Structure formats: structure tokens, C-alpha cells
Amino acid sequence: MTPPPAETLRRTPLHPAHVAAGAKLTPFAGWEMPIQYTGIREEHLSVRRHVGVFDVSHMGEIETRGPDALALLQQLVSNDVRKIPVGGAQYSVLCNESGGVLDDLFTYRLGECEFLTVTNASNHERDLAWFRAHAEGYDADVLDRRDDFAMLAVQGPEARPLAQRLCDGPLPPRFHCTERILAGAPALVCGTGYTGEDGVELLLAPADAPPVWDALLAAGAQPAGLGARDTLRLEACFHLYGNDLSEDRDPIGAGLGWCCKETTGFIGSAAVAAAREAGPSEKLIPFVIEWPGIARQGNAVVGGGVVTSGSFSPCLERGVGMAYVSAERTEPGTRFEIDVRGTMREATVARKPLYQRKDT
């Protein structure tokens, strides 16, 4: 497999910093991104035990603003947007009319009529087109803000104390966001992340990202790549679009019914309500493999189903993953087999999350 030439890939403002730090760079969703610096396991454990910083500037941003911004978003995303206070954050999915998942999103409410939605890099352009296609008749503007922001995720048990030392005011609580000056730069500081650890995410002007990155490293954060980000989110049982979520799966089977409020009438809500009522034929479950063996995305579940995410877990030190299995085999403790390239590996349905941080 030959990656496309690097010059066709987008680069974040931190590309020179990644090269200087000795990162292995890899194409990801049209971007040249650091997959690892010192090693996935080491970076993963740094985030679990101390603090790591990820460049997630490949993620996109869509701003929705205007008198009807709330009404427009309420039509688009699955969660109840009215429940987001100004300065709040909310997770949701974006569905098509048949309830298939187009993306999973965090939306921040910056003002009464001003929202910023963070998209997955691979879906940004489709999401933007979808937002705009449904904006007709609403007194609201849909703005592509992807090129206006770099994004850093500072994650781990020491992330908040570290960020606080660099910040001019109190950090926002979990699922909130606040404008602050951090390491000398204006930042939208968000109490969010996707690692299963506490921490903050920083939305910055691209030109400010390199000095803020340097300040975070100088303060003790370990640079962490997309490899560790994937194993961390998997241990936390957070979904990855393209693996665990797709247009062919509805949010109920994916275990995301909690962020779907069908009474709001969002696009796809009728299909989601029907799926909830009928019960899904297949559900996404976390699993562990009785060592040895590591299942990977695409491996078949014997008797029906498929692994959508599979990796080695640095914390559990064994193969773990998430798989869609038939609804009658989802009880934790249920054993099943996975066909790992011709070798049958015994797996057990686990409880969410696969890794639970100690302080909660």
C-alpha cells in the first residue's frame, strides 16, 4: 500500500513541530498526521497516568449563527440542542432520513444564537454540505471554520492542573467551554476530550498553535499521536466514525440512543424511533480476547456479526475491541468466537468502558 504523495495531503500548523519531535507521519483522512512519537504504548500510558497532548487540528469546525441557529441545529443533530447552556457542550450524531449515521459531533454553544460544531476530518465537507442543504428557510448562517482553527487535546489526570498553570482564569468544567488566554494566546478552552481521561481541548488561531504546543510540552505534556488516541478512545468505548459508526448503522444499535431525542423531530428521528421501538437486530458491544490474539476491524464474529474496532489494549495488555453481534448475545460475560484471519479467537462480551479511570 503506497500512501499518496505528501504534497497532496493537508498539514496542520504543527507539522514542523511533529517532524522536529521525531513523529512517524501517516496519511489520515486527507491529512498528514503524527501516528506516534516515541511509541503508541508509551504515549497511551502517559495519558492514562500523567498528561499527553494531541494535535487534532485535522478535525473540522462548522459555525451556525443567527436567530434560527438553534432551530436549524435542532433539526440536524440528534440531541436536544435546547439543553446546551451558553458556554456548554453536547455530543450528538448527525443522521440521514433513514436513521443512518452521517457523523458524530460535539457542539459548543458560544452564545445565545452562536454554535460551533466539531466534525470528523473525513466527514467535514459532507457535513458542511448537509448543514447548508437543510438551512434553507432558516434565518441562520452556516460557516466553514475549518481553516480558522487549530485544535489541541490535553488529556490525562494531570491535564487540568497543567493547563491551569498556563491559563489566565479558571478552566471550564467538564462539558463547558470558555474563552481564555492560555500560554499567551486567545483560546476557546473546552472541558471535553475523547480519551476517557479528564482534560481540555483548545481551539486556537492556527498561528498560535506552535507556541502553545511548545508551552504545553515545556510544562510536561507528552506529545501523543493518533495511534494512542485510537487505543485510548477504544478502551473508553468511544465510537470512531468509519469503524463503529456508518451510514449503514443506526445510533440505537451503536449504543448511542442516549444522545438521540426523537421528540425534537431531527432528520432521521422517525427511523431512530422505529429502531428503538423494534430493538436492534445487532448491537455494538465491547469485548476482550482471552489471550493470545488481537482482533482487527473487519474480522467476522462466528455465527454473525463483525469487529468494527480491534486493537491491543496497553492498559489491559490483551486484545480488545468493539463488535456488532446479534442482540441475544450482548450480555456481559457472553462468550463468542472471532475469526482472526483463519484462527478462531475466544472473546467475551465486556462491560463499558473497557478501562475505567480510578477517580470516578
Question: Which grid coordinates belong to 131?
Answer: 448543514
DSSP element (H, E) containing 2: none
Residue 175 in 3-state DSSP?
A: coil
Residue 27 within binding range of another protein, rule CB under 8 A: no
How many other CB atoms are found less than 10 A from the CB of residue 207?
10
Which among 51-59, 212-220, 312-320, 330-338 is the span making contact with another protein, rule CB under 8 A? Answer: 312-320
Which among 9-17, 47-55, 237-245, 292-300 is the span making contact with another protein, rule CB under 8 A? Answer: 292-300
Contact with another protein (CB under 8 A): which of 104, 230, 262, 282? 230
Question: Which grid coordinates belong to 88?
Answer: 456548554
Which among 36-44, 157-165, 278-286, 348-356 is the span making contact with another protein, rule CB under 8 A? Answer: 36-44
Closest CB to another protein among residues 177, 234: 234
Who's near 247: CB < 8 A, 6+ residues apart?
Answer: 96, 100, 101, 102
- What is the footprint of another protein within residues 335-354 (CB under 8 A)? 341
162 backbone φψ class: left, alpha, beta (φ>0; ψ -120 to 50): alpha
Q: How far is the CB of 24 from another protein (least distance, A)?
A: 8
Residue 173 within binding range of another protein, rule CB under 8 A: no
Binding residues for another protein, rule CB under 8 A, total 19
Contact with another protein (CB under 8 A): which of 24, 126, 174, 276? 24
Q: Which residue in the block uniquely carries the three cell numbers 447548508?
A: 132
Residue 36 within binding range of another protein, rule CB under 8 A: yes
Contact with another protein (CB under 8 A): which of 54, 130, 312, 324? 312
Q: Which of 13, 25, 90, 94 is nearest to 58 (CA)?
A: 13
The DSSP symbol for 133 reads H
Residue 68 within binding range of another protein, rule CB under 8 A: no
Q: Write out the E strands in the chain.
A: 24-28, 31-36, 52-55, 60-65, 89-95, 101-111, 114-119, 141-144, 150-155, 177-182, 185-190, 199-204, 222-223, 282-289, 300-301, 305-313, 318-326, 335-340, 343-349
Closest CB to another protein among residues 54, 312: 312
Q: What is the contact mask toward another protein in residues 94 to 133, using x (rule: CB under 8 A)?
A: ----------------------------------------
Which residues pair with residue 336 across a beta bridge? Answer: 347
Contact with another protein (CB under 8 A): which of 3, 111, 211, 292? 292
d(CA 278, CA 35): 41
Question: Which grid coordinates belong to 301?
Answer: 464474529
Q: How far is the CB of 228 from another protein (least distance, A)?
A: 8
Residue 293 within binding range of another protein, rule CB under 8 A: yes
Q: What's the sign of the alpha-carbon dihedral 60, 63, 69, 70? A: positive
Contact 245, 95 (CB under 8 A): no
Which among 35-43, 54-62, 76-84, 251-259 is the span making contact with another protein, rule CB under 8 A? Answer: 35-43
Closest CB to another protein among residues 35, 135: 35
Contact with another protein (CB under 8 A): which of 294, 301, 322, 349? 294
Which among 91-99, 227-235, 254-262, 327-335 is the span making contact with another protein, rule CB under 8 A? Answer: 227-235
Residue 227 within binding range of another protein, rule CB under 8 A: yes
By CB under 8 A, name the binding residues for another protein.
24, 35-36, 39-41, 44, 227, 230-231, 292-294, 296, 311-312, 314, 319, 341
